[in-house]
Chains A and B, each alone.
Chain A
Amino acid sequence: MASVKLTNVKKIYDNNVVAVHDFNLDIKDKEFVVFVGPSGCGKSTTLRMVAGLEEISDGTVEIDGEVVNDLQPKDRNIAMVFQNYALYPHMTVYDNIAFSLRLKKVPEDVIYAKVTNAAEILGITQYLMRKPRALSGGQRQRVAIGRAMVRDSKVFLMDEPLSNLDAKLRNQMRAEIILLRQKLDTTFIYVTHDQTEAMTLGDRIVIMKDGYIMQVGTPMEVFEKPSNLFVAEFIGAPKMNVLKTNLVKEGDRYFVTPCGAKIEVTGYKEKLLAEKGVQGGEILLGARPEHIVLADGPAENAIPCKLEVNEMMGSELHLHVFSEDGTRWIVRVPTIDLSEEQRQHLTNGADLYITFEGKAMHFFDPETEKNLIYGEE
């Protein structure tokens, strides 16, 4: 159990490629932090620098207040789970889990107690005498987690641990990691490219792009208050609809005018815009698919669209529609809200009207792509 502090951490490779720029982050004791971002954004590199597998080009990494830049991985008191499990193929599951303890010359009876305890928690007791190749992907990943568990380390690092599993197993293991976290009660750093994993697991999420931190925040913060367009589009599935439009200020009221419609900005969003002193002008408007609703018919605040693709997801429909100016929108409609008549109407090429609530809009600067309300100055 320990805090981790990264100060101005940089990674520059030999060919002068900068993988991580000035990374600053304070991870509290027992916090679960998720690094998320598209591939090549530097998230794994950052994790590997914490682990000691990658040299730190500049800046410092502290674990529990101690600078660990020059410490070998074995001296950092960390545990790590790898994407490809990295189990030792020539050892049984038991030996795999016991390996680190044997290196530390822990007495065999203590090792036995620890290994069987970990195996019980992870439900792999019956596989202890098997070799890794005789296990399924999910079982292997459990062994890898078990190997990390028995070390009682200060920090638990996980590098895309679920990426090699199929979708169903991934959901199951995700839930198990949440349970495991409750049992272990230690500091976690988790790397993933999957925003769902990030949202469900993390106390805080660090969203990265091209080696820069885009935003750090709780799942709710990054979802509701994305500081820039990248975060807004990365978090949430299907991704946020974005289009260029105008923000018009009429007295104290704000309106947006997408595709000829006129929709008023309402609620706290309007207040915040006024507080920030935002004048009108061209903006990038963001609206999440789940915040768009089907309008009953033509209205001032409704955008006429044509339905292109109707994806039936069971509990909801994902409607791909395009408006007159060619903008494509994705609309998420809960099936339970739809009458039989409406459902039958939603065939390809159908005409429909969409609108969205004034308080659910996001506004971005078209040049800097920063959030006009929540973006940092």
Chain B
Amino acid sequence: MSKQDITYGTQKRHMGMRAAKTLSNTAVYIILAVISVIWLIPFVFIVLESFRCECHYQVGYIIPQKWGFTNYIELFQKTDFPKWYLNTFIIALFTAVIQTFIVLCMSYTLSRFRFKMRKALMQFMLILGFFPGMLTMIILYRVLKDIGLTQEHAVPGLILVYVASSGMGYYVSKGFFDTIPKSLDEAARIDGATRAQVLFRIILPLAKPIVIYTILTAFMAPWGDFVFAKYISFGASAGMNVAVGLNSFLSLDQIMNKYTLFCAGGVVVAIPVVILFLCLQRYYVEGVTGGAVKG
């Protein structure tokens, strides 16, 4: 075999490899594109429906014949939607603040303090976390009803429900705190800081991604919750959040008049979440993956 043959053979093999690579890439991209289209259809559908003005019920086509904001205007003027929206916002905001505070304190404690039964407590919370929250539904309702925090007064009740078990969500932030050297705590304590000052002035500024991650998850859970909100508000419109309220549009007697309003509501609910994520996604990704990297 001459040198030329070898070179030619190598070139051919290279070309073969390149072609195979292009082919497999194309296949992968096509599959991914199909998946994302399937995934996006409901969203596009809802947005289009929300701008449809010719009628309020379901039709057999997707693109509206008459475009406009009537659905949005009706939603805010003729239904309880503004109340639900405000309810949801209050619940999510309070939950985010209180839950973040509890989770971060809990994580710091479990990361830095050594006390009796610490391991047992962590394992207990881990196992407890495996049970679905729904299991507590009946007793929770009973308790909240007795102290008068259901139906019209569901908002504080729901905040209580969401915040109550928040300490158990310590894993991610504890993992992150564990990577921050303990000598920083010690140096700060010798410098005259209390444990709380160590947490708020040294640890949290270093754990910014995890703080934002915790706030986001704490905000998101009640923002989209349906089950707890549904049974604690128990049919009282004044205590509903957006998910429960909008769901009532889909009941048999209302769906003919309010189907497009439901779609408009869906879009309005998504707006703050999208804005939040756009602003904070950099931290969010860092927060999810950051725990594994030594800080």
- Judged by a CB distance under 8 angstroms, whether A147 is at the interface is yes
Which residue from chain A places its CB closest to the CB of B116 in the assembled complex? A14
How far does the alpha carbon of A84 sit from the alpha carbon of B189 in the complex, in Å?
16
With a cutoff of 8 Å between Cβ atoms, the chain B residues found around residue A87 in the complex are 187
A99 is an interface residue with CB less than 8 A from chain B:
yes
Contacts of A183 in B (CB 8 A): none
Contact: A53 with B186, CB < 8 Å? yes
Q: Which residues of B sit under 8 angstroms from A14, Cβ to Cβ?
A: 114
B194 on the interface (CB 8 Å rule)? yes
CA A296 – CA B181 in complex, angstroms?
Answer: 59
How far, in angstroms, from A99 to B184 measured CA to CA in the complex?
12
CB-CB under 8 A from A82, the residues of chain B are 183, 186-187
Q: Is B268 an interface residue (CB 8 A)?
A: no
In the assembly, what is the distance between CA of A99 and CA of B181, in Å? Answer: 18
How would residues 66 to 85 of chain A score, 1 for a CB under 8 Å from any chain B CB and 0 otherwise?
00000011100011101110
Contacts A88-B202, A89-B206, A90-B205; is A100 near B184 (CB within 8 Å)?
A: no
Whether the pair B186, A99 counts as a contact (CB closer than 8 A) is no
Q: Does any Cβ of B come within 8 Å of A151's Cβ? A: yes
Which residue of chain B has the shortest Cβ distance to A88 in the bound complex?
B202
Contacting residue for A79 out of B183, B190, B194, B205, CB 8 A: B190
Instruction: Find chain B residues with CB under 8 A from A17 CB.
Output: none
Residues of B within 8 A of A90 (CB): 205-206
Check A100 against B183 for contact (C-beta < 8 Å).
Answer: no
Question: Which of B183, B188, B192 has the largest number of chain A CB atoms within 10 A?
Answer: B192
Query: In the assembled complex, which residues on chain B have CB atoms less than 8 Å from the CB atom of A79?
Result: 190
B168-204 Cβ-contact flags toward A at 8 Å (1 or 0):
0000000000000101101111111110010000100
Interface residue tally on B, bucketed by range: 10 to 19
A80-B187, A82-B187, A86-B186 given; A103·B205 CB < 8 A: no
Q: Which residues of A contact B187 (CB under 8 A)?
A: 80, 82, 86-88, 147
Q: Which of A232-259 contact B (CB under 8 A)?
A: none
If A80-B190, A104-B192 touch, whether A86 touches B181 (CB-CB below 8 Å) is: yes
Report chain B residues within 8 Å CB of A53.
186, 189-190
Pairwise interchain contact A100-B191, C-beta atoms closer than 8 A: yes
CA distance A151 to B194 in the complex (A): 16
CB < 8 Å A-B pair total: 56
List the B side residues contacting A78 at CB < 8 Å. Answer: 190
Select B183's contact among A72, A86, A103, A147, beta carbons within 8 Å: A86
Instruction: For A97, give the chain B residue with the smallest CB separation.
Output: B191
CB contact list, A16-70 vs B, under 8 A? 51-53
A99 touches B183 (CB 8 A): no
How distant is the Cα of A72 from the Cα of B198 in the complex, in angstroms?
A: 13
Q: Once the chains are docked, how many angstroms separate the CA of A84 from the CA of B206?
A: 17
Least CB distance, B168 to chain A, in whole angstroms = 26
> Which A-chain residue is minimally distant from B187 (CB atoms)?
A86
Given contacts A89-B206, A90-B206, A103-B197, contact A74 B189 (CB under 8 A): yes
Query: Once bound together, how far apart are the Cα atoms of A99 and B191, in whole Å?
Result: 7
Q: What is the CA–CA distance of A89 and B114 in the complex, to the nearest angstrom?
A: 25
A74 touches B191 (CB 8 A): yes
What residue of chain B has the Cβ atom nearest to residue A148's Cβ? B190
Asked whether B206 lies within 8 Å of A73 as measured between CB atoms, the reply is: no
Chain A contacts of B202 at CB under 8 A?
88
Contact A74 B193 (CB under 8 A): yes
Q: In the assembly, what is the distance between CA of A259 and CA of B194, in Å?
A: 64
For B184, B189, B190, which residue has the most chain A Cβ atoms within 10 angstroms?
B190
CA A230 – CA B40 in complex, angstroms? 75
In the bound complex, do residue A86 and residue B184 qualify as a contact, i.e. CB atoms below 8 Å apart?
A: yes
- For A103, the chain B residues whose CB sits under 8 A away are 191-193, 197
Closest to A151 in B: B191
The smallest beta-carbon distance between A317 and chain B, in angstroms, is 42
Select B190's contact among A74, A83, A89, A104, beta carbons within 8 Å: A74
A103 and B198 CA atoms in complex are apart in Å by: 11
CB-CB contacts below 8 Å: B69-89 with A: none
B75 to chain A, nearest CB (A): 45
Q: Contact flags (1/0) for B98-114 with A, using CB distance below 8 Å?
A: 00000000000000001
Q: Whole-angstrom distance between the alpha carbons of A78 and B192 in the complex?
A: 10
Q: Which residues in A have their C-beta under 8 angstroms from that of B190?
A: 51-53, 73-74, 78-80
Question: Nearest Cβ in chain A — how far from B120, in angstroms?
Answer: 14
Kindly name the residue among A53, A78, A86 whose own CB sees the greatest number of chain B CB atoms within 10 A: A86
Q: Which residues of B have CB within 8 Å of A74?
A: 189-194
Report yes or no: B181 in contact with A84, Cβ–Cβ below 8 A.
yes
**Segment 101-146 of A: residues with Cβ below 8 Å from B:** 103-104
B183, B194, B202: residue with the most chain A Cβ atoms closer than 10 Å = B183
Contacts of A86 on B, CB cut-off 8 Å? Answer: 181, 183-184, 186-187
Q: List 8 A-B contacts (CB under 8 A).
A: A52-B190, A82-B187, A86-B184, A87-B187, A88-B187, A100-B191, A103-B191, A147-B187
Beyond contacts A72-B194, A80-B190, A147-B187: 10 other A-B pairs, Cβ-Cβ < 8 A, are: A51-B186, A52-B189, A73-B190, A82-B187, A83-B183, A84-B183, A90-B205, A103-B191, A103-B192, A103-B193
